Chains A and B, each alone.
Chain A
Amino acid sequence: MDWDWNFVWEIMPTLIQGVKITILATLLGSVLAAIVGLGIALARRSPNKALSRGVGWVAEFIRGTPLLVQLYFIFYVLPDIGILLPPLVAGAIGLGLHYGTYTAEVYRAGIDNVPRGQWEAAKACNLSARQTWSHIIIPQAIPPMIPALANYFIAMFKETPLLSAITVLELMNQAKSVANTYYRYLEPITLVGAFFLAISLISVVLLRWLERRYGKIER
């Protein structure tokens, strides 16, 4: 078994196509997870018990079942009730929903960390509940939670190979297909690992910077 550089250069364009899709899926999934997480966190704080409990159960259910199963469900089962999604969209929704249940906990902690005095000052200023959330609480809660959110997005990135199971042509899927075509696994799979490692390391550097930039709010 020896390493073939010519083969590497030959498959590189295909793999880079896959990297692009992997990054795109991660970005879409991250945006969705950020929104879903905030939605869950807000719903769980709602004075409407039915809403807060209902959302709580759904979140617990999603967190308690494997992402792979959810991806299969979204891509292969939903068409049975007429919801037919392109693979990448189904994948991004799966990632976003699944990780949204985790980011919800980050939001919860971030919101809890805003001192009670801020709520009281907002009330003394006669701000409505909506104004209090959008102008006082959320802007203070989010900066300190950016590093924790970014951590989940990096974790999500490393789970994108699961999307190959629902035919998304991301990096892993491209690597498998070239490997299956040429019956050589060494180079494609090694390169997949190398790509993930490189991007993860870059992300970690970015994360450290975010921690320094947003880690704490000065009072």
Chain B
Amino acid sequence: MSATTPIIKIDGISKSFGSFKVLDGLSMQVMPREKLALIGPSGSGKTTILRILMTLERIDGGHIQIEGEQLYHMERNGQLLPADERHLARMRQKIGMVFQLFNLFPHKSVIDNVTLAPMLTKGTPRAAEQKRAMELLDMVGMADKAKAMPAQLSGGQKQRVAIARALALQPKIMLFDEVTSALDPELVEEVLNVLWRLCAETDMTMLLVTHEMGFAHDFADRVLFFDRGRIVEEGKPDEIFRNPKQERTQGFLKKIIAAGHRV
């Protein structure tokens, strides 16, 4: 695969919840290793895109390709059929996700949270997985809490473990869904630092839904501004944040700044 082939290709997808149309014929592409920030008012569909890529929501129409392969369809004898669970499971290997509310497994220790999925899905031996898990926990600064239970951790610590858990499956694409929104302000920094580290030390493609505009500006290669299920404006962070062309982008950023977020 050449460097100019998108790792994610979204083609005219739509999604409704009841009568509410969240996404309406949305198309976009993401290049390998690209860091993308998705911003916009709540209900604009940015989180839904991540959830669709993680196969947590099905699409009503359109196509998605990951590394040139259909996500929700399978090619059989030249025909596109709806994907079965086996196909989806294979495609999910390429994608990892970190959630706003961490969603750690509360009945498992920190290290077991990290080792569980690789041990079950790849069948690697426990010892090897634990060694790898410790490296990942070390990377997110949580190695000393490996034996702790999630309930004993702060929000920021939980989120760092959740990042290690997602990394353990070695995805090519990582989806971050408002990963700092549920954190107390003083804990945001420690999670963002981990994201910086991932950015520097891995070549994962990263999609970030965030309200941390300052971080989005510094971190992203490209910023997409969403409103009502469409991409209203996209461009380099400087273009979007310093010089937005669309009225809706300007209005949104004004509101965000008024709410006290640094840009």
Contacts and interface: CB of A to CB of B under 8 A. Distances in A.
Interface of A: 115, 117-118, 120-121, 123-129, 131, 135-136, 139-140, 217-219
Contact of A123 (B92, B116, B149): B92
Interface centre among A115, A121, A126 (most CB of B within 10 A): A126
Interface residues on B, range: 20 to 34
B106 A218 contact: yes
A76 B56 CA distance: 52
A126 B104 contact: no
A217 to B, nearest CB: 6
Given A117-B99, A218-B149, A128 B105 contact: no
B263 interface: no
20 contacts: A117-B99, A120-B103, A121-B99, A121-B104, A123-B55, A123-B92, A124-B56, A124-B92, A124-B95, A125-B165, A125-B166, A126-B89, A126-B93, A126-B117, A126-B121, A128-B121, A129-B85, A217-B106, A219-B106, A219-B151
A120 B151 CA distance: 19
A139 B150 CA distance: 15
B174 to A, nearest CB: 10
B209 interface: no
Given A123-B92, A125-B117, A135-B116, 19 more contacts: A115-B103, A117-B99, A118-B103, A120-B99, A121-B105, A124-B54, A124-B56, A124-B96, A125-B165, A126-B121, A126-B169, A127-B120, A127-B121, A128-B121, A131-B120, A139-B107, A217-B107, A218-B149, A219-B150
B121 A125 contact: yes
B80 to A, nearest CB: 23
Interface of B: 54-56, 85, 89, 92-93, 95-97, 99, 101, 103-107, 116-117, 120-121, 149-151, 165-166, 169
Contacts of A124: 54, 56, 92, 95-97, 99, 166
Interface centre among B95, B96, B103 (most CB of A within 10 A): B103
Contacts of A121: 99, 103-105
A134 to B, nearest CB: 10
Given A120-B99, A135-B116, A218-B149, A125 B169 contact: yes
Contacts of A136: 105
Contact of A125 (B56, B101, B116): B116
Contacts of B106: 140, 217-219
Nearest to A217: B106
B217 to A, nearest CB: 27
Nearest to B86: A128
B216 to A, nearest CB: 22
Contact of A117 (B101, B121, B149, B150): B101
Nearest to B51: A120
Contacts of A218: 106, 149, 151
Contacts of A217: 106-107
Nearest to B175: A124
Nearest to B112: A135
B107 A140 contact: yes
Nearest to A136: B105
B254 to A, nearest CB: 33
Contacts of B92: 123-124, 126
Contacts of A135: 116, 120
Contacts of A117: 99, 101, 103
